[in-house]
Amino acid sequence: MKPLALGLGVLVAALFLASLVIGPAGINAVEGLRALVTGGDGPVPLVMREIRLPRALLGLMIGASLGLSGAAMQGYLRNPLAEPGLIGVSGSAALGAVLAIHTGLAATLSLALPLAALAGAGTGVLLILMLAGPRGGAITLILAGIAISALAGALTSLVLNLSPNPYAASEIVFWMMGSLADRSMTHVWLALPLMLGGGAALLSLGRGLDALTLGEDAAEAMGLRLARLRLSLVLGTAAMVGAAVAVAGAIGFVGLVVPHLLRPLVGARPSRLLWASALGGAAMLLAADLAVRLILPERDLKLGVLTAIVGAPLFLHLIYKTRGAQA
């Protein structure tokens, strides 16, 4: 396990650094990093501290949140297809966030934005657990996810279309695909507490999720408090996904791709997959955000576009495998 943790750690650190030194303004890397640490006047410290640092931090935090919540949901539902974006949790969070913004709630109380997204995500998770609990198969999960995503997406579009602001309608793409463009430290501070709380809740589930490998009955008989685990899972996932979506929109597939790639490397143990997926998710999102900036810097390419291009074929492959297992 040590080499994997080290490898992922180094990868995340390298991508984080790259995220800080690469940008359209072409600031010299050494000069930029010095300005970041020492501060001072002028445009370079301003760019490093107010533009690039929050973007890199958010990439790290949001990637880790999505990877971790994907791994936790998969562990609980015992289904490798469970992913916040695909099963409608991110979509529900986006609906919550959009409602908070367009009712003016977010303007009066800044914490209203992530909390509304949390409430939305929580509703999504609860619906999924009700419709496709651990005993439900892959098909039920995907069908329930399609329905919840579709409903949340439609209501999000409706709210945006009804907004008096002419820009709102064009933001449907942002809420469905996600972007880290032009976020600030304000957003970091807005998301961080929820993400830390949610992360602590989810990381504490490791032993219970391991026990669930044997099924609910056996796990409960080994002393697992299932109701408590379920509550932590719902709250933890809702907090992490809600905070992520509130500041960066719904970015899909991170929670699918990362656990899938890392599962063989952790011996398929759900507990080890939790922290590994958090690191892996951070690496994937930082890499995707770098790609967005390098490939088409002037077009504000959405992050979800890249993660879907990588993730969707993998998703199809997983469905194919699941189908084989059931036949």
Partner 1 sequence: MADTAPSRVVSINLCTDQLAMMLAAPGQLVSVSRLAADPHSSAMAQEARAFPANHGRAEEIYLLKPDLVLAGRYSARATVNMLRRVGLRVELFDTATSLTDTRDRIAQMARVLGRDAEGAALIADFDMRLATLDAPESGRRAALYHPNGYSLGGGTLADDILRAGGFGNVARDLGQTGGGTLALEQLVMAAPDLLIRAEALPGASRSEDVMAHPSLERLAASTAGLRITSPDWICGTPHVLGAVATVARAREGLK
Partner 2 sequence: MTLLCLRDLSVRLRGRPILSNVTLDVAEGEFVGLIGPNGAGKTTLMRAALGLLPHEGRSSLAALPPEARGRKAAWMPQARDIAWPVSVETLVALGRTPHLAGWQGLRGTDRAHVDRALATMGLEGLRRRTATRLSGGEQAMALIARALAQDTPLLMADEPIAGLDPANQIATMAVFARLAGEGRAVLASLHDLGLAARHCTRLILLGEDGVAADGPPEAVLTPDNLARIFHVTAHYATTPQGPVFQPLEVIR
Segment interacting with partner 2, rule: CB under 8 A, options 16-24, 39-47, 262-270, 310-318: 262-270
By the rule CB under 8 A, 163 interacts with partner 1: yes
By the rule CB under 8 A, 204 interacts with partner 1: no
| Rounded distance between C-alpha atoms, residue 263 and residue 258, angstroms | 8
CB of 211 to partner 1, least distance (A): 42
By the rule CB under 8 A, 298 interacts with partner 1: yes
Rg from Cα positions in the chain: 19
CB of 239 to partner 2, least distance (A): 21
Q: What is the DSSP letter of 52?
A: I
Task: Tell me the site size for partner 2, rule CB under 8 A.
Answer: 22
By the rule CB under 8 A, 214 interacts with partner 2: yes
Evaluate whether 79 touches 138 at the Cβ level (below 8 Å): yes
* Residues 233 to 262 in contact with partner 1, rule: CB under 8 A: none
Residue with smaller CB distance to partner 2, 82 or 257: 82
Closest CA to 70 of 261, 215, 323: 261
Give me the torsion for CA of 44, 46, 47, 49, rounded to 10°. Answer: 110
Tokens of 90: 């991110």
By the rule CB under 8 A, 324 interacts with partner 2: no
By the rule CB under 8 A, 269 interacts with partner 2: yes
First to last CA, the chain: 35
| Rounded distance between C-alpha atoms, residue 221 and residue 263, angstroms | 26
By the rule CB under 8 A, 300 interacts with partner 1: yes
Tokens of 69: 């919540």
Residue 270 binds which entry of partner 2, partner 1, none, with Cβ cut-offs from 5 to 8 Å by kind?
A: partner 2
CB of 102 to partner 1, least distance (A): 6
By the rule CB under 8 A, 50 interacts with partner 1: yes
Residue 11's CB is within 10 A of a number of other CB atoms, namely 17
| Rounded distance between C-alpha atoms, residue 45 and residue 50, angstroms | 8
Report the interface residues with partner 1, using CB under 8 A.
23-25, 27, 43-44, 46-47, 50-52, 101-102, 104, 106-107, 163-168, 170-171, 174-175, 181-182, 184-186, 297-300
